[in-house]
Chain A
Amino acid sequence: MATMKIAKFFVNVAIAFLLPAALAAQQADQTPAAKPNPHMEAHIGKLVGHSEAGAALYYRYCWGCHGARGDGNGENAPYVTPTPRNFVAAIFKCRSTVTGFLPTDEDLYNSLYRGFITSNMPSWKALTAQNRADLVAFIKTFSARWVTEKPAEPIKVPEEPKVTLESIKHGKELSTKLECWKCHGPEGRGDGPSASTLTDSNDQPIRPYNFYTGYRFKCGATNHDLYKIFMTGVDGTPMPSFADVVKPEEAWDLVHYLRTLQIWHNSPELALWEGSPEGAAIVKDERTRNRDTGSGINP
């Protein structure tokens, strides 16, 4: 009798554990809708990413915003500004390739590592390099563009010339000539006359970059990154490529000037600019009128 009782108890315990487990496993096997490219690879240096491995990572980390179908319509998408990237359209902001072309695998990998400031997209540097490579491969399964098109060669970024006062002043003139102020504002605060009218490729309102509040950009933090932003544009946003308008050395002048707008971030450009009478007056005036409140908005 006692043996029977013990046996019944363990049978019940087994049922208690195994039935939910079986059902859960069955549900866990549910796969999302078929994708244009079921198997993709990503090549970043010696790393090879596989979409099969990336799928599990995607459905742990990414689907809430980017959606199970990669179309940027995850359940949180309505509450996220700017809207999550649509991998089906395969239009990417941060590229080393010319505007209109697909990015390289390394571009996507770097985006995952870096994250996107002033958005909900965090840095995924806590994942392993292999994880990120696998995710890049999986992202490429959502759009047929990755089969029908090839990424262009990355643009060549010439060596950065030495920062000079002349370079900064020339960059300032170029900024006026190219009408950067129309969107970014005369002081680079993202408050130009066109700012309130801008929309992205999803017809969602978008704000121009505010140089005043940060030193990092969506597509990197270095002068090299800023140069690439000029020359490749930020696809899917109103920020065009200036590759056909400015020469490489002029682009560097613009980089040097724009750094001086980041008055809370120490840089060689800002130091040089502050050393000139014109720059000192401008920077002093900016700092006097706008103090860091510590609220987190200012750097």
Chain B
Amino acid sequence: MHLLLFSKRFAGVTGRLGSVLVFSVVVLGLCLLDCHPAQGIPAFARKYGLPCSACHESWPMLNWFGQQFKDNGYQLGNDRDAPIFQQPAYWPATFRITPFWERNSTNKQQVDTATVPGGAEAKVTVNGFNWSGLDFHTGGTLAKNFSFYCLPSSDEFASFHFESVWARLDNIGGSPWFNIKLGKFELDNLLSEKRILTLTNIAGVYENYHFQPFSSKGVPENYIFGIGDNQVGLEYMGHSADDRTRISAALLTASDSPLGAQPDVPYASAYNAYFAASQGFQVGSLGVQRVGGFAYIGQAPTYYQYTLDGVGVPGTGAGNKGFQRYGILGIWYIKNFDITTIYFRGHDSAYLGTNTASGGPTNPTGALPTGAQAPTWNGGLFESHYVVSPQFILINRYELVRMSQQAFGAAAAVPNPGNLGNADVLTFGMRYNPFMNSRAGMAYHAEYAIIWQKGASPVTNTNLTTGNLLLGIDFDF
């Protein structure tokens, strides 16, 4: 749930001073280290008296026990889950925020030509202190087998939106195989982006969860979709008693930004669907392994049916065309070492890929441009963790995206280069919790992430490289 929305403003410190600051932050961190034994949403930990490590491999990432707790409607199932058993003053709320220092470097950022002799792009490196947005989690049980979640979330300037709002009927008919959730929620992604362990603006999201191909050089697709974004709809979810088998299906209102404009407003009378299933199994003493798959079958409008003062009327998107995301996943445990592998496949309609209206006043015949074709791509993710102790985790991730078919093919007047948009993201990080209890959580966080993307620079459409180093203190209470 942790949205790190970064300011474009940085303190104007560079070079040697920046290096000194890196060192200073580390020293400060070391001075603050304490020797208490290590911990999630402390609202749950406070309710049940369990340390965060009981549910989290390293918070916010869940372990299998935490996943079962979540799938069971935030219930342990010991007949003490209903709020009636809590002190009347108990309030299931938690906030989370992260002050940090970061260094961000982009090899090609658009600048005025007057400031860059011979070009309109320059390498820009900035560093300074900053802070994240605030997440204010409230969630838990309303009564036995009735759970809820509400997450107002802000950027760093305290501009709030609702990241998550849902109610869930749990264990309907006494069966864990029948749970219904209504509202805005994270899809049942087997690798949760909202519980991601990395925080930079590069690695704070999964590249594959948000990747969209270029329509053409320097021109992104109009429609916006991220499988990692919370969606609005109705979800069925079922699981076995031990949570080894999990299935889910969701009916969703298309709710990502309509033609790049109105976030959180349904932009067409269109429904999307998401399916996920996975199976866990024990392999000797290595731990519980899990394999699964997911599919998102969506559609998005290509034009507005009506406009007002030349601007599309929200909700009147028309000419829906389809897009799909598929993937298979494996989560492999070798005792304290785990690795997650995902293969992604993405496919957009040629209309969506080329930003072409499939009808309407601008293109009444719905004709596609010459050489237009459905962009398709493959992706991969390898994320590994080594859990030194419940208090300390090392993180590594590599993601890649490879286009297999561009929106404008060889027959187009200006065909896209075959590798346009290809991306590689590499991340290293560590989180150390100086204490672990059931009241609050805190982690010293260090992370470096870098992304290489083909043809993505803003002006010359050449290769773009961006790196980000972040050192911070991530805490919740």
Contacts and interface: CB of A to CB of B under 8 A. Distances in A.
Nearest to A115: B78
A24 B35 contact: no
A61 B54 CA distance: 4
A19 B77 CA distance: 42
Contacts of B285: 53, 130
Contacts of A75: 437-438
B65 A127 contact: yes
A43 B242 CA distance: 22
B81 interface: yes
B262 interface: no
Given A121-B78, A296-B85, A126 B243 contact: yes
20 contacts: A13-B22, A13-B469, A16-B26, A24-B432, A27-B391, A56-B336, A64-B50, A64-B54, A68-B37, A75-B437, A76-B50, A76-B438, A115-B76, A115-B77, A122-B50, A122-B69, A123-B76, A126-B64, A130-B285, A295-B84
B65 A126 contact: yes
A65 interface: yes
A121 B50 CA distance: 9
| 6 nearest CB pairs, A to B | A296-B82, A296-B144, A28-B389, A76-B49, A122-B76, A126-B68
Interface stretch (A4-12, A103-111, A174-182, A255-263): A4-12
A28 B282 CA distance: 27
A16 B471 contact: yes
Interface in B62-82: 64-65, 67-69, 76-82
A17 B49 contact: no
B77 A122 contact: yes
A10 to B, nearest CB: 10
Contacts of B54: 60-61, 64
A16 B363 CA distance: 56
Contacts of B438: 64, 75-76
A12 B22 contact: yes
B391 A126 contact: no
Contacts of B389: 24, 27-28, 56, 59
Contacts of A80: 49
A15 interface: yes
B49 A79 contact: yes
Contacts of B428: 17
B467 to A, nearest CB: 10
Interface in B120-150: 141, 143-145
B79 A64 contact: no
A25 B444 contact: no
A117 B79 contact: yes
A61 B65 contact: yes
A60 B388 contact: no
A76 B53 CA distance: 14
B76 A126 contact: no
A129 interface: yes
Contacts of B143: 294-296
Interface residues of B, number: 62
A87 interface: no
B448 interface: yes
Contacts of A63: 37, 51
B81 A296 contact: yes
A20 interface: yes
Interface string B383-398: 0000011111010000
B390 A12 contact: no
B78 A122 contact: yes
B432 A295 contact: no
B241 A21 contact: no
Nearest to A129: B282
A24 B51 contact: no
B49 A123 contact: no
B392 A214 contact: no
Interface string A116-151: 111111111111111000000000000000000000
A118 B77 CA distance: 9
A59 B81 contact: no
Given A24-B392, A61-B53, A118 B469 contact: no
A255 to B, nearest CB: 21
Contacts of A13: 22, 448, 469
A255 B446 CA distance: 59
Contacts of B141: 296
A74 to B, nearest CB: 8
B67 A19 contact: no
B15 interface: yes
Query: Which of A56, A125, A216 gathers most chain B CB within 10 Å?
Result: A125
Contact of B67 (A122, A126, A214): A126
A297 interface: yes
A30 interface: yes
A117 B78 contact: yes
Interface string B78-97: 11111111000000000000
A28 B22 contact: no
A23 interface: yes
A188 to B, nearest CB: 16
A59 B37 contact: yes
B432 A20 contact: yes
Contacts of B394: 21
Nearest to A8: B19
A17 B287 CA distance: 28
A297 B76 contact: no
B30 interface: yes
Contact of B392 (A12, A28, A61, A116): A28
A130 B282 CA distance: 9
Report which residue of B48, B65, B82, B391 has the largest number of chain A beta carbons within 10 angstroms of its beta carbon.
Answer: B65
Contacts of A213: 79
Interface string A210-222: 0001101000000
